[in-house]
Each structure stands twice: as structure tokens, then as C-alpha cells.
Amino acid sequence: MTSRTNDRPTLTTESGAPVADNQNSASAGAGGPLLIQDQQLIEKLARFNRERIPERVVHARGAGAYGYLEVTDDVTGYTHAAFLSEVGKRTEVFLRFSTVADSLGGADAVRDPRGFALKFYTEEGNYDLVGNNTPVFFIKDPLKFPDFIHSQKRDGFTGVQEPDNVWDFWSHSPEALHQVTWLMGDRGIPASYRHMNGFGSHTYQWVNAEGRAYWVKYHFKTDQGIRCLTSDEAAELAGKDGNTHQQDLHRAIERGMFPSWTLYVQLMPVEEAADYRFNPFDLTKVWPHADYPLVKVGKLVLDRNPENIFAEVEQAAFSPNNFVPGIGPSPDKMLQGRLFAYGDAHRYRLGINHTQLPVNAPHATTASNNGRDGAMRFDGNGGRAKNYEPDSFGGPVQTGRPLATGLAVTGETGNHAPVRHRDDDHYVQAGALYRLMDAAQQARLVANIAGGLSQVSDDAIVERMLAHFHAADPAYGHAVETAVKEQRS
């Protein structure tokens, strides 16, 4: 129970002890030096030194809100994802908006793409969809991404974003022209996060219950209408207040003016990709709507602000590798690179246990894996459960059902069983090694094995292991079995 003074909670140290004086440091006499025994002083200064975590290299400046996706149209013919399984179904979401190039202290009203990162808290685990407010991007190969970002960030010598660097990279990268045309056009500076569209940008895959696969692109059309700023309007606004977009989103939700987007998808049967007139997995290109019309899915609504920006916006971690059954990746090279890079960035910034933070943890399911330990482990750390698989003690097991099969359908990827050769079993060479030993070596081997195996309390484990020795060589198995029985008795 929290102690209270005059109907207000008592200020405490981090260990819970009450603080007597939070205005004056303890000292050796009225004019003397301060004392290291002053727990409140030492603890406050030490914590203050450690309050910041590394900001995101890109998408550092952001705002976010909670809401829901409501399915309005039947898409079960295209995906068996449970959260899209019936009209009227709602799934909680968290959406983080961001600028891309500038730092955490940058202004909102600048000419820059906007991140549009969604976390769906589905009944089958979290599904993360990481995109932008543009349907394309500057590059199509992740190998170029560090160079691209270096050219857009502050110069190491001058400390500011240099036009020479920005345009030099673009001039060497003609594939950037499509995105540059978007960025420098009328929609390059959204008037607010509410008045812009969102896109998954990459190509993903959907798979239905019958195993038919589709390549898919996501489109979130703002229901508030598109509103943008001119360069002059943005410069004036950013000069007056750097927090315009964040405040606009927060205030709209607080007033009950809940922003919404209508979700559409474009769908391409997997077999059509090979013969399409350009590479459908190229992130610098869009699919013309005349070829693949928009299919309506549902309504995205934001209706709740975070209680704490650091805990819920700064620590929100999105990875496009977080899929759910019925949805998966495509051969999009930029997506493939991000499948690694995003998760790795969060493991660096937030630590290996960042998925346990409330904003990142699944809501309808419980993560059940063999991850243990690591910095800031604040749950039960698995308790007594074994942290390996397969096991004999009731631990989690694989389903044998792939999340999505689109790439496997095209014969490009999959979990393939190895090609078997004549002696490709687990016993031939182990038995041969046993038979190479002389009698004394065999006796010592058997004694060593029996010494460990006889201490196993579970009879099923012992029997399973003895079967392996018998399969390698009957004499080997008989000798181990006899020695184990003797030691256990």
C-alpha cells in the first residue's frame, strides 16, 4: 500500500523508502561538502544521466495513437487471417506516424515522407505493417539504404542537411526519381497526420484457407480528405511551432474528432507476377489501378491517445517480420532487408526483451517461446518451464502450418527436407565407430553413458535414448541397456 501524507501519496526512493527532504542535499554541516550517503541525491542524479535511450536512426520524430480496424467487406476469399475473418470484426491497433530524416527534435511541418506504422493486436499474435504516406520509395535494394540515409542526414562537417549530399545521391540513383517526384510535389508536406493517406508500400502476400496465394498492396485512404502545405506555409508553421502535427492528432482525439482511414488492397494472383510488364516487387513502382483495382477491406479509426509518450510512442517497436497466419512476405528486396533491420534496431535501442513492454506485447495471446534472461527481464522468465524444444515436459510445440505459402507456391522458398542419400541416417556411422573400438574402449564408453543416463528420472526419455543405441548396433544397445539397469537398481 502506498503511504500517504495529508491525502497525497508520499514521495519515495526507487526502493520505496519515504523521502524526508527533496529540496536540500545532505551535507557535512551547513557549508560543508555533500555526502555520498544521500540516497535521494545520488539516485536522482544517476537516473537523470540514464533517462535517454538512443533515438531511432530514421523515423525518430513521431506521434501515435490507439484505435481499431473494423472489417467492413468480406475478404476471406483472399486471406485466412483471423482478424479479417468476418464483417464487423474489430481488432485493436496502435499507429505511429513519423518524419523520416530529421532527429527527435526536428519540426513536424517539413518536406519529408511520413512513416505510417501499424501494430494489429490480433488473436493470433501481433501483426506489424510498416509503411509510409507514399506508395513508393527512393531505392529498391537494401544494400543502398545506409548510403541513402547518410546522404539525407546532417553532414558530418557542417552539421546540417546538405543539398549537395541529398541531390548527389539522387543523381546517382535514377530509381529514386519516382519518389522524388512524389516528395517535391503538392503532397510532399501533409498539413497533418490526419489529412494524408497511408500505404504498406511494399508487396506482401495473402493466402486463403484453400492455400491460394495473392500478392497484396495496402492503401489507407484518409476520410478527412487530403490537405497539404506549400513550402512557404510549412516554413512559417515550423518556425512558429515544431509540434504542429503531434498536437493536431492529440487534440483531435481529445475532442472526440476521431481520425479514420478506409483500408483497401490491391491483389495480384501469384502466378501473374512472373509475366507482369514490370517487376511487381520493385518498391520504386506502383501497380496501376486499371490492372489491379482497389478492393475495400475495412475502416481504421484512432480513438485513444497514449497515456505516456515515452512508454508508448518512443518505445513502440514495429517489425515487418511480425506476421500472422494468412499473411506473409514477398520477394520485395527492400522488404526482405527490413525483415531483419527493423527488429535488430529495436534489440539495440530497447533491448532483447522489448517485446514484453506493454505497447509491444500481444494482447489476445501469450508469447510462448524459449527466450530467457537478458537485460531488464521483468516477467517470471519462464518459471520452471524448460527452455528448449522439442522436450518431454509439455513445452510449446510447432504447428506444422506455415503462416503463408505464396513464395512456396512459386517454388522460391520453403522449409525443405534434405535430399536423402543411401546412408543418410543417424545410426550408420555411430554404429561403425562403436565397432571400431576394442573391448576395453567399449566398456568405458558404455560405463560413461550409463553413468549419465541412469540418473534420468523419466523412463520415457531413457527408453527413447536406448532405442537409438540399439539402432546403431544391437550389441551397443544391449550393453548400454544392461549397464543402465544395473546402475538404476
Asked if the model's pLDDT at residue 95 lies above 60, the reply is: yes
Task: Please tell me whether residue 469 adopts helix, strand or coil conformation.
Answer: helix
Establish whether 421 is a catalytic residue.
no
Asked if the model's pLDDT at residue 391 lies above 60, the reply is: yes
Per-residue pLDDT band for 381 (boundaries 50, 70, 90) equals: confident
Tell me how far apart the alpha carbons of residues 244 and 109 are, in angstroms, rounded to a whole number: 7
Task: Please tell me whether residue 333 adopts helix, strand or coil conformation.
Answer: helix
- Please state the separation of Cα 445 from the chain's center in Å: 48
423-434 per-position pLDDT tens digit: 788 899 999 999
Asked if the model's pLDDT at residue 292 lies above 70, the reply is: yes
Q: What is the model's pLDDT at position 11? A: 93
Q: What is the pTM of this model?
A: 0.89
What domains sit in the chain, N to C, each tagged with a CATH number? 12-51 (4.10.91.20), 62-356 (2.40.180.10), 428-488 (no CATH)
- Beta strands of 276-363 (E only): which ranges? 295-304, 327-328
Task: Please tell me whether residue 51 adopts helix, strand or coil conformation.
Answer: coil
Residue 99 CB coordination number (10 Å): 24
Mean pLDDT, range 95-117, rounded to an integer: 95
Establish whether 132 is a catalytic residue.
yes
107-160 per-position pLDDT tens digit: 999 999 999 999 999 999 999 999 999 999 999 999 999 999 999 999 999 999
Q: Which three cell numbers stand for residue 400?
A: 506444422
388 marked as part of a ligand binding site: no
* Those residues with Cβ within 8 angstroms of residue 192's Cβ, 6 or more apart along the chain or in another chain: 227, 244, 245, 248, 249
In the set 59, 202, 245, 346, the catalytic residue is 59
Contact of 220 with 263, CB cutoff 8 Å? yes
Asked if the model's pLDDT at residue 405 lies above 70, the reply is: no
Q: Which three cell numbers stand for residue 262?
A: 478506409
Asked if the model's pLDDT at residue 357 lies above 60, the reply is: yes
Tell me how far apart the alpha carbons of residues 398 and 369 are, in angstroms, rounded to a whole number: 10
More confident: 236 or 380: 236
27-83 per-position pLDDT tens digit: 999 888 999 999 999 999 999 999 999 999 999 999 999 999 999 999 999 999 999
Tell me how far apart the alpha carbons of residues 469 and 34 are, in angstroms, rounded to a whole number: 71
Return the percentage of the chain with pLDDT > 70, whole number: 96
Phi/psi at 267 (nearest 5 deg)? -130, 130
Asked if the model's pLDDT at residue 414 lies above 80, the reply is: no
- Please state the separation of Cα 80 from the chain's center in Å: 21
Tell me how far apart the alpha carbons of residues 196 and 116 are, in angstroms, rounded to a whole number: 10
Mean pLDDT, range 463-477, rounded to an integer: 96
Tell me how far apart the alpha carbons of residues 299 and 91 are, in angstroms, rounded to a whole number: 11
In the set 126, 132, 133, 322, the catalytic residue is 132
Per-residue pLDDT band for 412 (boundaries 50, 70, 90) equals: low
Q: Which of 196, 186, 185, 68 is nearest to 121 (CA)?
A: 68
Tell me how far apart the alpha carbons of residues 470 and 484 are, in angstroms, rounded to a whole number: 14
- Please state the separation of Cα 177 from the chain's center in Å: 29
Mean pLDDT, range 192-203, rounded to an integer: 98
Contact of 119 with 94, CB cutoff 8 Å? yes
